[in-house]
Amino acid sequence: MFIRILLVIVVVFGFVFIKYDFLFTNIILSPTDSDFVTYRCLKYLLALFGLGDPVGQFQIHLINYELSGQFMLQISGAFLMAGVISLPYIIFELWRFVRPALFPNESRYLGVLFFFSSFLFYLGALVSYFIIFPLTIHFLGTYQVSDLIANQISVQSYFSALIILVLSIGLTFEMPILAYFLSKMGVISKGTLAAGRRYAFVIILTLAAIITPTTDPFTLMAVAVPLYLLYEVSIWVCKRNEEIEPEGV
């Protein structure tokens, strides 16, 4: 199993490493330009409501200050993309490895669990890449306390911010899966989460404000709404688990 997983990662890594120009130009560095699809959609939506154009025309220029910086960036970018692309196969191999030790009903539930955990992670990563990260990088990359201070952003700093946001939001989208296990262990319940809705909403708004420190309410809600929907999905997961549990007993 480990050999097969390693071979798949190595093959995907080699392919992505060779196609580094497409990877960086069209994926990793694409949010640095005002022509990125998120900015164009934002301009269109705000124009419909007559709210002007808060994005404008911009191009964030990145610099490299390390001798081997760009080569190491190519390696780390290719390795990250190889891991993301190979994730479904890795999960499939893990599920096939543990499946013989499970009862038929356990195998079915575990397979569904693996599928939804992969789906939620990719969904979170896409939301982060197309919504949260572009809005964050636009604000922080163009923000100036004075015209006398020019922004010179290192490509290492940009890449680190991209990785942190995409992975953290991807893992945050695993909230329903975590709620399922905590509900199974009796740590939380539907009633506990439902009673904490008002507090959860405030916490989510605060987290959204930290992630995207802009004065635009649209940006704030674009981050807060998906996170709150995840909280509601977690409540539904706990409810379903509590309905199924007595039947099993």
Tokens 């390696």, residue located: 75
Q: What is the pLDDT of residue 189?
A: 83
Q: What is the pLDDT of residue 47?
A: 77
pLDDT band at 42 (very low <50, low <70, confident <90, very high): confident
Q: What is the pLDDT of residue 14?
A: 95
Q: What is the pLDDT of residue 71?
A: 93
Question: Is 170 within 8 Å of 128 (Cβ atoms)?
Answer: yes
Residue 64 reports pLDDT greater than 90: yes
pLDDT band at 16 (very low <50, low <70, confident <90, very high): very high
Q: What is the pLDDT of residue 193?
A: 87
pLDDT digits (tens, 9 = 90+) for 107-162: 777 777 788 888 888 998 998 899 888 888 888 888 788 888 888 889 998 998 88
Q: For residues 245 and 71, give the distance between their C-alpha atoms in angstroms, rounded to a whole number.
A: 53
Residues 136-143: contacts with CB within 8 Å, 24+ apart? 136/161, 136/165, 136/211, 136/212, 136/213, 137/31, 137/32, 137/60, 137/161, 138/31, 138/39, 138/55, 138/58, 139/212, 139/213, 139/214, 140/213, 141/32, 141/58, 141/60, 142/58, 142/60
Q: Can you tell me the mean pLDDT for 68-86?
A: 91
Residue 232 reports pLDDT greater than 60: yes
Highest mean pLDDT among 9-18, 50-59, 95-104, 119-128: 9-18
Q: What is the pLDDT of residue 18?
A: 93
pLDDT digits (tens, 9 = 90+) for 187-231: 788 888 888 888 888 888 887 777 665 555 666 777 788 888 888
